[in-house]
Amino acid sequence: MPNRLAQSASPYLLQHKDNPVDWQEWGDEAFAEAKRRDVPVLLSVGYAACHWCHVMAHESFEDPQTAALMNELFVNIKVDREERPDVDAVYMEAVQAMTGQGGWPMTAILTPGGQPFYAGTYFPPRPRHGLPSFTQVLTAVGQTWRTRQGEVLAAAADIAGRLADRSQLAAPSEGPPTQDDLQEATAGLERMFDPANAGFGGAPKFPPSMVLEYLLRHHARTGSARALDMVSQTCEAMARGGMYDQLGGGFARYSVDDAWVVPHFEKMLYDNALLLRVYVHWWRATGAALAERVVAETAAFLLRDLRTPQGGFASALDADTEGVEGSTYVWTRDELVDVLGEDDGAWAADIFSVTASGTFEHGRSVLQLRQDPHDPDRWARVQGLLFAARSSRAQPGRDDKVVAAWNGLAIAALAEAGALFERKDWIDAAERAAALLVDVHLDADGRKDRVVRVSKDGVAGRHAGVLEDQADVAEGLLTLYAVTGNTRWIATARLLADAILEHFPDGRGGFYDTPDDAETLLHRPQDPTDNATPSGPAAAAGVLLTLAAYTGLARYREAAEAALAVYSGLARRHPRFAGWGLAVSEAAADGPREVAVVGDRADPAWQQLRRVALAGTAPGLVVALAAADSGDPAAPELLAGRGLVRGRAAAYVCRGFVCRLPTTDPAELARSLTTYS
């Protein structure tokens, strides 16, 4: 019989509804039951596309004997980390503090009051590699609870207190990172750069999306050739390796090796949204043909494989297909020959680095494309035939929930890509996703300024958004406004930003990751460093800085600068984990520059000025578009008093509270947006 997860809306929780474990969702009812039974809580956290989450589920949670032990000794709670990032953040901090490492599946044992006293990640069904079996852990913890409960409660209270103390950030510096701080951050990243394989650090190697955005902005502001070189090497290495889907576009989560050969096959919306924007900006800076191909293919992947019927974007594609990791994507030489014939099959094996022994498991290879084929027509034919053949294979599962923050990132990426590559269909897709967020995620509880975290099938979930939801949705809407000039988007972004200022401040210039009316957990999470996505505080600072440029309101600028203060220290000590905060700091250092383009939208001169403005590389560039006679009351103050120049479309450029004379010349506009300071 299905357990209590059968009523959940989370695709991850629904994966566990038929487990013999008596799972419950996170909530007061579960903790009340633990108190009544006088047993600990076993908290298991994962997500739908997580390979090792599936492994532990098959090995332990589907096993009747293991489930019986869990049900006897614990109240068992299953949490989708993508639905409840606040719960995940608090208890992942405990796991890392107690074990020195973290990851998913996450396993934490809590008192009935929610305080952790034992933690880990994956536990095997039998002891191996120095790990105890899961049943050994369950039995030992249960015995300790029954016989030494007083000691356990005291230890748990001590752990909770230490975690609360750790959650208090050190006092930030007096202001945002200086130009010297940013220079030191770039030097630090250069020291961490992998000269052999590009990227930063060793295996497993993750796409450093936010760091690449920072380096692109640093290059744009300073002209640093080394910053751009690190971006170019990393973007090329990722796009030519196995982490990039050479047939269908889009990126896997990370590379298990340090040379980008073998991916962990799950494909996440947030990675692809962030990387799409990176490659758009790399192309904007260099004109690289590889960047153009990756942009086109990754945008196609988003629209083809992740778009939901309601116009949003699903969270992820699973790493596994029918329980086998990566089986949809890998090939042998014989399989290539079966699809393409002997000649084309041998050619494809060569260009894709498909070897006799294989680069993955069981003699199969992950497709790589280490150099562009010399025959583009043959390449296009081979790619199309292989993609069609692959599409006939069993496909990985899809997590259909729509996460607000990640959709905000996708909206920003598609809007910018559509503008720069003149793809109206990409802009239309961004607008449809934005409409879903505004109509469903903001309307769910009657408020227009607070984002609900997830929706599924067009129905909003019950969990309030966290700071990254508020900020990333606002970021997407502001980018969409810059591209379309539709004031609906900037008006909504201002509402979201005002709610950030009202409900998320920490009283010291920074922001908490949860609002002041959120559920009380062990402590209120707050983390200025990036993870797989931009940190909430950095994303909020970026939105506030952009709105300050649009509106001229000092309160937005002051709040942005206060939030950026924490990145002064991080710039020098940990630049790899502060990429988005540094990117926003580059925008603050550059101005950011503000451009108002006015004129008749049907006028080719206005359209050319618009294209040039949106193609500007100045960090954090803010663009406002309007007809000369626009009387829209929602139009930003940046457009106030802007008119035609001698009856012609014109662009107005301001920077640092100083405005240039308006120009009607696209070349002059381009120079004003790309000159190094």
Dist CA 300 CA 248 (whole Å): 8
- The amino acid present at 267, given as its one-letter code, is K
Question: Half-sphere exposure of residue 672, counting CA atoms within 13 Å on the CB side?
Answer: 27
Rounded Cα gap, residues 254 and 257, in angstroms: 9
Determine the Cα–Cα distance for residues 35 and 40; give it in Å rounded to an integer. 8
What are the tens digits of pLDDT across the range 331-344? 999 999 999 999 99
- The angle formed by the CA atoms of residues 44, 50 and 56, to the nearest 5 degrees, is 50
CA–CA separation, 45 and 107 (whole Å): 7
Residues 330 and 245: their CA atoms lie apart, in Å, by 10
Task: State residue 633's pLDDT score.
Answer: 82
Min mean pLDDT across 77-91, 189-203, 433-447 is at 433-447
Find the length of the chain.
677
Give me the chain's average pLDDT, please.
Answer: 93
Kindly report the number of other CB atoms within 10 A of residue 407's CB atom.
32
- Residue 378: phi and psi, rounded to 5, are -65, -40
Q: pLDDT for 426-439, tens place per residue?
A: 999 999 999 999 99
What digits encode the pLDDT tens for the residues 381-411? 999 999 999 999 999 999 999 999 999 999 9
Q: Write the DSSP symbol of residue 662.
A: P
Q: Is 130 left (phi over 0), alpha (psi -120 to 50) or beta?
A: left
pLDDT tens per residue across span 623-641: 999 876 667 888 898 888 8
| Cβ count within 10 A of residue 361 | 12
Closest alpha carbon to 302 in 372, 250, 240, 371: 250
- Is residue 459 within 8 Å of 474, Cβ to Cβ? no
pLDDT top residue among 125 and 477: 477
The DSSP bridge partners found for residue 398 are 317
Report the CATH architecture of 4-166. Answer: 3-Layer(aba) Sandwich (3.40)
Q: What angle do CA 355, 361, 364 make, to 5 degrees?
A: 35
The torsion angles phi and psi of 256, rounded to 5 degrees, stand at -75, -20
**Per-residue pLDDT, 358:** 94
What's the rounded Cα separation, in Å, for the pair 522 and 165?
A: 11
**DSSP secondary structure string, 8-24?**
---HHHHTTTTSSS-EE
pLDDT (0 to 100) of residue 116: 92
**CA-to-CA distance for 476 and 299, rounded, in angstroms?**
16
pLDDT at 172: 62
Half-sphere CA count of 347, side-chain side, radius 13 A: 18
Q: Residue 105, preceding bond cis, omega within 30 degrees?
A: yes
For residue 170, pLDDT beyond 60: no
Residues 78, 84 contacting (CB under 8 angstroms): no
- CA proximity to 550, closest of 590, 592, 509: 592
* 382 contact partners, CB below 8 Å, separation of at least 6: 340, 344, 347, 348
pLDDT for position 530: 94
pLDDT of residue 204: 94
Mean pLDDT of 213-227: 97
- Point out which residues pair with 108 in neighbouring strands: 43, 119
Report DSSP state, residue 362: G
Among candidates 614, 624, 590, 544, which has minimal Cα distance to 220? 590
pLDDT at residue 74 greater than cutoff 90: yes
Beta bridge partners of 321: 324
Distance (Å, rounded) from C-alpha 467 to C-alpha 470? 5
Is-contact 435 458, C-beta < 8 A?
no
pLDDT band for position 258 (cuts 50, 70, 90):
very high
> Which DSSP string corresponds to 611-647?
HHHHT--STT-EEEEE-TT---TTS-GGGTT---BTT
| Model confidence pLDDT, tens digit, residues 569-586 | 999 999 999 999 999 999
Give mean pLDDT, residues 652-671. 90
pLDDT confidence tier of residue 656, bands split at 50, 70 and 90: confident
Amino acid at 251: F
Class of domain 179-318+399-590: mainly alpha
pTM: 0.92
What does the pLDDT look like over 355-378, one tens digit per residue? 999 999 999 999 999 999 999 999
Query: For the CA atoms of 395, 401, 406, 412, what is the dihedral angle to 10 degrees?
Result: 80
pLDDT at 173 over 70: no
Number of H helices, E strands in the chain: 25, 19
Give the pair of three-digit tokens for residue 407: 């959709």
Cα gap 676→285, rounded to integer Å: 13
Burial class of residue 394 in the structure, from the number of CB atoms within 10 Å of its CB (0-12 exposed, 13-18 middle, 19+ buried): exposed
Domain boundaries, given as residue ranges, for the chain: 4-166, 179-318+399-590, 329-393, 594-674
Which two structure tokens, joined as six digits, stand for 562? Answer: 């206060």
- Asked if the model's pLDDT at residue 287 lies above 80, the reply is yes
The rounded distance, in Å, linking the Cα atoms of 74 and 138 is 9
- Residue 139 phi/psi, 5-degree rounding, is -65, -45
Quick: pLDDT tens for 104-148. Answer: 899 999 999 999 999 888 888 888 877 889 999 999 999 999 999
DSSP states along 74-89? -EEEEEETTT-HHHHH
